[in-house]
Amino acid sequence: MDIAVLASGRGSNLRAIAEAIDRGACTARVVAVVSDKADAAALAFASGRGVATAVVEPRAHASRALWDAALAETVASFSPDLVVLAGFMRIVGASMLARFPQRIVNVHPALLPSFPGAHGARDAIAKGVRISGCTVHLVDAGVDTGPILAQAAVPVLDGDDAARLAARVLRVEHRIFPMAVRWLVEGRVRVRDGRAEVGGVDASQRLLWEAAA
């Protein structure tokens, strides 16, 4: 299965997925890394591995819809079976969703449906929750609202700020995102009534607890 990864920044989730593929834990191929930012470290990582890259910058387009259409064209040019949003800090629009229906997967740094949006860790700290984590979900037209594939929990510790919590959450992202991508690659995911069902997976694997490090 061919995967296109969309990333805006440092690309540690891209690396986690690439490593899972390298060690044979996921039978797939990253065919392209596409970014909205020309200086994204994820692009350099991809180039270093000989993976094709592309940049589709919003400022080069007159509207969000036109940018989204250009993004969909660019991503489709690599003919991916699956689109993986790995730290892609923009909301994909109607063109992307139409081109890749239920074939776009995202990782979010909070336990959805709590704290959607761009500041999952900061918002969790501000609310004073004692447990947070991350969520892997299919992308739909809402913001972080699509069917949930996997979640992992981490404690929020006294003295945490958004950066410390985000770092702890990131470690579990690196564990469950490649796992959920593997489920999609293996065709184990079915969506019924807005809910994802994952076949052949022990339920206990779907929520991991990471002890305080």
Residues with active-site annotation: 108
144 binds ligand GRF (CB under 6 A): no
Q: Is 122 helix (H, G, I), strand (E, B) or coil?
A: helix
Least Cα distance to 3 among 57, 101, 78 occurs for 78
How many residues lie near ligand GRF (CB under 6 A)? 13
178 is a site residue for ligand GRF (CB under 6 A): no
> Pick from 153, 160, 154: which is nearest to 122 by CA?
160
In this structure, what DSSP letter does residue 198 have?
E
Task: Considering only the stretches 2-10, 30-38, 190-198, 202-210, report the one whose residues sit in contact with ligand GRF under the rule CB under 6 A.
Answer: 2-10
Three-state SS string across 98-118, please?
HHCCCCEEEEECCCCCCCCCC
108 binds ligand GRF (CB under 6 A): yes
Kindly state whether residue 137 participates in binding ligand GRF, applying the rule CB under 6 A.
no
Nearest distance in Å: CB 140, ligand GRF: 16
Binding residues for ligand GRF, rule: CB under 6 A, are: 7, 9-13, 86-87, 107-109, 170, 173
